[in-house]
Each structure stands twice: as structure tokens, then as C-alpha cells.
Amino acid sequence: MSSATDSPAAAPVKAQTRYMEALNRGLADAMEEDERVVLIGIDVGAGGGIFTVTRGLHERFGPDRVIDTPISEMGYVGAAVGAAMTGLRPIVEIMFLDFIGVCLDPILNQASKLGYMTNGALKVPIVFRTQTGAGRSAGAQHSQSLEAMLAHVPGLKVVMPATVTDAHDLMLDAVRDPGPVVFIENRRLYAMRGELGVDPLPLGRARIAAPGDDVTVVTWGQSLRECLGAAEAASVSLEVIDLRSIVPLDMETVLRSAERTGRVLVVHEAVQDFGAGAEIAARVGHDLFDLLRTPVRRLGTPSVPMPFNPALERALLPGAHSIADAAAALVAEG
Amino acid sequence: MLLELYERMALIRAFETRVAELYRDGEIPGFVHTSLGQEAVAAGVCAALRDDDYLATTHRGHGHVLAKGADLDGMMAELFAKATGLCGGKGGSMHVADPAKGILGANAIVGASMPLATGAGLSSKRLGQDRVAVAFFGEGAVNQGTFHEALNLCAIWDLPVIFACENNIYAEFSDSRTMTRVPRVADRAVAYGVEASTIDGNDVEAVHAVTFDAAERCRAGDGPFLLEFETYRWHGHYEGDAQPYKPQDESATWRDADPLVVAGRRLTEAGDATSEQLEELRERAGARVESAVEAARAAPDPELEEAYAHVFGD
Ligand SMILES: Cc1ncc(C[n+]2csc(CCOP(=O)(O)OP(=O)(O)O)c2C)c(N)n1
């Protein structure tokens, strides 16, 4: 499947970059740009990361800057926060987003609040790098999309790159950010090819990934590909917006599109209940109550742990067909 | 040296005594955990550190923060939640910090100081500095995973970090000795290949000497170290705690080991100070604290817009 930003004219000859390579380049560029940037995590060094995202960085930047840790998330994530407070700019890897359960304190009580509680005297420039992604039978403890939980904590930015360009550019933005950023990759996108440098936008701005007229589809992460697939397949015209970050949330782009279409569908892989889609629906409903032709609709995963069985898993995740159907239903409503 | 240590202890004693009263009288909001009786640990450890060494501490951190050199007026104003406080009134007793003095903050999460100090040690080493990081924690915190993970990380990375355990017997309302089969915290360091010792935490000279040695060896690359200081918490867990869980005569026994009395006796016996001089010194500390209280009372609350400032690291 091609990425959102492929333009047919530019595609053929150029060697295209994989999402994972773009991440690797982003990390390398960040380390090149600033001596204080260090990578910390399990097997990020000699092993090159279990998804090979950090491959080669250990050789290039040495073990002082690409630091392997024991399997000790609470300790090393906390240490990375301490290092960020004292002059380094760590990018700390939590291998699977699900593992955040064993090391939430340094993220939600330390990094997110120490700048605030000290009235800006302490700075915590840190990137928590992690990945998620259901759809590969990884089971309930390796498939969760927890961005809403993190976005709920004041002080954290939550970034979810869905394109090759963003994998690189948002990584650089995240490292340059003065505060803590949770950077959530999607492992189903790792092998996706696309071009670097297409339509670059700063962190915090949403992108119109596909223009359309009937329904504004708001999405992020891996779901973007499904939504683009839906846009091609649907009987109605979809305008697909890739949010790129949940915090900051670019409501302006969403509202501008929704004013035109009068219909909004929010699509995400995360569990629907209490999710980021609810926040977006509430804001659209509040700001555009009179302009909306139909109530905002959400399409996420039902509130069940992700089953191991591939057929069940597929059935639970929003896919191009269910998205296209939901969009068509919205248009039929009004 | 001992006289200087005495002076630091006297300031902490005066501060904590006054804070306990102010809290009782409803002048200080939030929770307050005083370190009365434990002054020797704060003074002894911090006097052995340089200004640019790092300190991460706990909910019971007033003494440590003061001893490390935080501005007294700023401290008091912070406890009063005023705009002139060290953290602009947004931190408070449990979160007071002063990065300019290497103070990374008191911390309301039990066990949180240790990974943070580990990171500070990592920064120091990676940036080619010779700054030492000290994590204060209570003996209750050694049952947290952070203690074990941080100790192990510091050990495998040879970091200049001192784990300073203030063993005051109680973790909230519980006798910590009932929470582990290993009564000596220092014994746990063996499991991580870390050198450790147990010290009389009411003997400020002993505390200072062992910390100074550990800090010098950290600078030479021999860290980390674990130092266990045996002391006693005079007051309740928080101000207002009536401590029904403490044995009747226990407090009295420990009052005999008052670190100020111990140090004072040593000073007078050696002829380095008269008891009048010591009293005068304590009075000066009291007056200094009182002027901080007055300044804090008179200071304004933070402006409402401050509630929205510095959320994202700006
Ligand atoms: C993670 C966490 N669990 C529980 C608490 C509640 N709590 C605050 S202080 C404390 C006892 C700490 O005892 P110790 O570490 O011995 O320190 P001390 O109070 O004796 O200085 C507890 C349980 C907390 N703040 N953080």
C-alpha cells in the first residue's frame, strides 16, 4: 500500500525510504545535530533494536550515546528523565507501548510535571519513543493504542507519525522540543515505503492527507492508511485529515474542514470508549453545533482486549470497508 | 567544621519547628512532613557536597534542600504557596526545587528520587563533569522497585551516585522492620555489588566524613555508594499525626540522641564553643526563620495566568 503523500508522478525511479529507515535517519540526524542527544533502551545499541530502527547508530555514535540497558523500565526511563533534567536530551525507548505500565511514574509524575511544578526552572527535554499496532496477532499485552491515556496527562505531547516524512521530521521536532514528548510509532508501518521531505509540516499541525467534500474523516497513525483506502473505495467524497499529534491537537484544521462538509467521522485504532475520538467529537459538537448536518460519529475498536485470533482481531479493527460504510451512512443521515 | 555543621542543623531545626507551628495554625496549606530529629543527616551529607552536585530527595526533604543551600526566604515562601517561592508557589513542600543549587527537587512519589539521581549521574559522566548526584530516600522506599533498578543501573554504569538512606524506622505508620527480613538496608547493596555502610545518623561528623569520602571516590570513578544513616523521626509521618503506633518510651530514648545535643556537647567539651555561643547561634537561626516567615506572609499569591505557564517545558 502506498503512503498518503505519494504522488504518482514522482514515484517510479527514486529509491523510496521505509518508515523504519526514516526513523533511523531522524534519530541519526538528531544525534548529529546535538551532542547531548543520547539513546537509551533495551537492545537499542549493539542489537540495533528489535525492529532494527536503531541499527547502525551504536557503531556510528558509540556506546556512550547509544546506551543498552537491562530489562528495567522503571529504572532506565526514570534515569532518562533525570538525565534530561541535568543537561542531556535523551530519547528513551519503551519497546512496546504496552510496557509503559511498569514505568508510568517517571512519565506521568516526573517528566510531565517537574517543569511546571518548578515554574519553569527545571527543563525536561526528553522523547519517550515507543511503538504500537494491532493486526499481527501480538495478543492483548502487545497491541494496545494508549495515546488517549497519555494525552490525558497535562504536560505531555503525544505524537503519532503516519507517513515516512513524519517518521523523520516529527522525530527531529520531538527531540528539539523543550519538554517531554511521547513518540508513538506503529509497527505495521515500519515496512511502508514513501518519500522523505514530502509536504513537511511542524509538530502540532494537522495535514489534509486527501481532499474531499462530503465527510471530514479525522484520523492518525496506522488508521490513516485505512482511511485513505476508504476514500478511494467509498461512494461518497472523504476529506481525510491526519492529525499527526494528539497533543497538540490541531482543531483548527479539523473545524475548517468540518465547516465545509458538515459531517465528521473520527477513526482510530485505539479502543473507542473514552478515547481521543470522544474529545474531538465533543469539541466539534461544541464549536459547530449549528453547522453540523449529522452528529459526529466515532469509529474505534470495541472495548475489549485485543484477541490473539487473527480473524477476530481483524473484525474488531476499523478497516477501509467499515470506514467507507460509516462515511456513507453519515451522508445518508443528512 | 563541627561548628558549621551545628549551624546548619540549628537552621533546619528552627525551620522545621516553626513550620510545624505554622501548619498547625493553618497558615501553610497542603501536607507537611518535617524532619525534626534527623538534622544531622541533612547537614552532614550536604556539607560534604559541592554547590554543583545534584540532590534529589523526598516528601520529607526540607532539611536536605535547606542544607544544600536553597534560599531560606524562597523555601518559606514556597511552603506558603506564594509567588516569591522557589517554585513560584506551584511546587510546595513536597516538590520544592532549586536547580541553580543542583537541587532537582523534593518528590512526592516514594522511591522516585533514585532513578532521577541515576540520570543526573549519567549526565555528569557523559558530559565529562565530576558532579556527584545524591538520592535521599527513606528505608520504606527500599521496597520499591526503583531502589533495586536504580542501584543496579548505577552499578553497571559506574555512576557517581550516592544512595543516602535515611533510616528513621517508620514508613508512614508502619515499623519498617516488619516489612522486610533484612533489617539493614546496607545489606541489600551486596546483591548489586555496591559498597555500602551503616552509620549513626545522629552523629553529624560521622555522616559528613563518610559522605565526603564517598563523594571524593565518586569523583574518582569509584561510585556508586549506598550509605544508610540510622536516625529517628520525632514527629508523626505528617504534621497532625498523633502516632498511636509508636511504643511509649521510644521517643524519649531517641530524644537523648538529639543530634544537636550530641554535637553541642562535643563542641563544648573540646572547648570549641561555649553553651552561650551555641544558644546565640540557635537564636540567630530562629530570627532568620522568623524574618522568612514575615516575608512569606507579606508576599502575594501567584497571578492566575501563572497556572497556565510552563506546562510544556517552555
Ligand atoms: C509510590 C508511593 N506510594 C505511597 C506513598 C504514600 N507515602 C508517602 S510517604 C510514605 C512512607 C515513606 O516512608 P520512608 O520511605 O521510610 O520515608 P520517611 O517518611 O520515613 O521519611 C508513604 C507510604 C507515596 N507518596 N508514593
Q: Which of A301, A279, A299, A147 is nearest to A215 (CA)?
A: A299
- For residue B144, CA distances in Å to A42, A305, B121 come to 21, 29, 20
Which residues are within 8 A (CB) of B238 and not within 5 positions of it... i.e. 6 or more apart?
A: B31, B32, B33
Whether the pLDDT of residue B5 is over 80: the answer is yes
Interface pTM (ipTM) of the complex?
0.93
Tell me the pTM.
Answer: 0.94
Share of chain B above pLDDT 70, in %: 100
What mean pLDDT is predicted for residues B237-254? 93
Which residues are within 8 A (CB) of A332 and not within 5 positions of it... i.e. 6 or more apart?
A: none
Rounded Cα distance, A234 and A222, in Å: 19
pLDDT band at B186 (very low <50, low <70, confident <90, very high): very high
What are the CB-based long-range contacts (under 8 Å, 24+) for B253-260? B254/B37, B255/B37, B257/B202, B257/B232, B258/B37, B258/B202, B259/B9, B259/B37, B259/B38, B259/B39, B259/B40, B259/B202, B259/B203, B259/B204, B259/B231, B260/B6, B260/B9, B260/B10, B260/B13, B260/B39
pLDDT band at A112 (very low <50, low <70, confident <90, very high): very high
pLDDT band at A284 (very low <50, low <70, confident <90, very high): very high
For A268, the 3-state DSSP assignment is: strand
| Segment (H or E) for A323 | helix A320-333
Rounded Cα distance, B236 and B36, in Å: 10
The shortest C-alpha distance from B310 to chain A (Å) reads: 5
Lowest mean pLDDT among A13-22, B111-120, B217-226: A13-22
Q: What are the helix and strand counts (H, E) for chain A?
A: 12, 14
What mean pLDDT is predicted for residues A179-205? 96
Lowest mean pLDDT among A10-14, A66-70, A168-172, B267-271: A10-14
- Ligand 1 atom with least separation from CA of B166: 21
Tell me phi and psi for residue A68, to 5 degrees.
-75, 140
Cell of B170: 517508620
Among B123, B129, B301, most A C-beta atoms within 10 A, so best to mutate, is B123
What mean pLDDT is predicted for residues B268-290? 98
Could A179 and B88 be called an inter-chain contact, meaning their C-beta atoms sit closer than 8 Å?
no
Which pLDDT score, from 0 to 100, does residue A15 have? 66
Whether ligand 1 lies within 6 angstroms of the CB of B171 is answered as yes
What mean pLDDT is predicted for residues A120-137? 96
Lowest mean pLDDT among A6-10, A310-314, B35-39: A6-10
Q: Which of B158, B129, B105 is nearest to B50 (CA)?
A: B129
Q: Which residue has the cell 520544592?
A: B96
What mean pLDDT is predicted for residues B235-248? 94
Looking at chain B, which residue has its C-alpha nearest residue A41? Answer: B153
Instruction: Name residue A74's amino acid.
Output: M
Mutate to test the pocket of ligand 1, among B65, B113, B172 (most ligand atoms within 8 A of CB): B172
- Ligand 1 atom with least separation from CA of B137: 15
**Beta strand segments in chain A, E:** 17-18, 37-41, 66-68, 89-94, 127-132, 157-159, 181-186, 193-194, 207-210, 215-219, 238-242, 245-247, 264-271, 297-301
How many CA atoms within 13 Å lie on the side-chain side of B156?
A: 14
Say which of A21, A73, A147, A226 is annotated catalytic: A73
Whether the pLDDT of residue A10 is over 50: the answer is no
Mean pLDDT, chain B, as a whole number?
Answer: 97
Is A142 noted as a catalytic residue in this protein?
Answer: yes
pLDDT band at A276 (very low <50, low <70, confident <90, very high): very high
Rounded Cα distance, A32 and A88, in Å: 14
Mean pLDDT, chain A, as a whole number?
Answer: 95
Tell me phi and psi for residue B59, to 5 degrees.
-60, -25
Which among B54, B109, B152 has the least Cβ separation from residue A75?
Answer: B152
| Segment (H or E) for B104 | strand B103-105
What mean pLDDT is predicted for residues B87-110? 97
Which pLDDT score, from 0 to 100, does residue A46 have? 85
Cell of A270: 485505539
Whether the pLDDT of residue B288 is over 60: the answer is yes
- For residue B133, CA distances in Å to A148, A171, B26, B99, B156 come to 35, 30, 35, 13, 16
H helices of chain B, in order, are: 2-24, 39-47, 62-67, 72-79, 113-126, 145-156, 185-188, 204-219, 250-255, 259-269, 275-298
Looking at chain B, which residue has its C-alpha nearest residue A107? Answer: B112
Q: Which of A235, A254, A259, A242 is nearest to A331 (CA)?
A: A235
Whether the pLDDT of residue A3 is over 50: the answer is no
What mean pLDDT is predicted for residues B81-101? 97
What mean pLDDT is predicted for residues A251-261? 98
- Ligand 1 atom with least separation from CA of B110: 26
pLDDT band at A14 (very low <50, low <70, confident <90, very high): low
Whether ligand 1 lies within 6 angstroms of the CB of B170 is answered as yes
Q: Which residue, judged by its Cα, is nearest atom 18 of ligand 1?
A: B138
A130-159 per-position pLDDT tens digit: 999 999 999 999 999 999 999 999 999 999
Which pLDDT score, from 0 to 100, does residue B114 have? 98
Whether the pLDDT of residue A299 is over 50: the answer is yes
Q: Is the peptide bond before B224 cis (omega within 30 degrees of 0)?
A: yes
Is A168 noted as a catalytic residue in this protein?
Answer: no
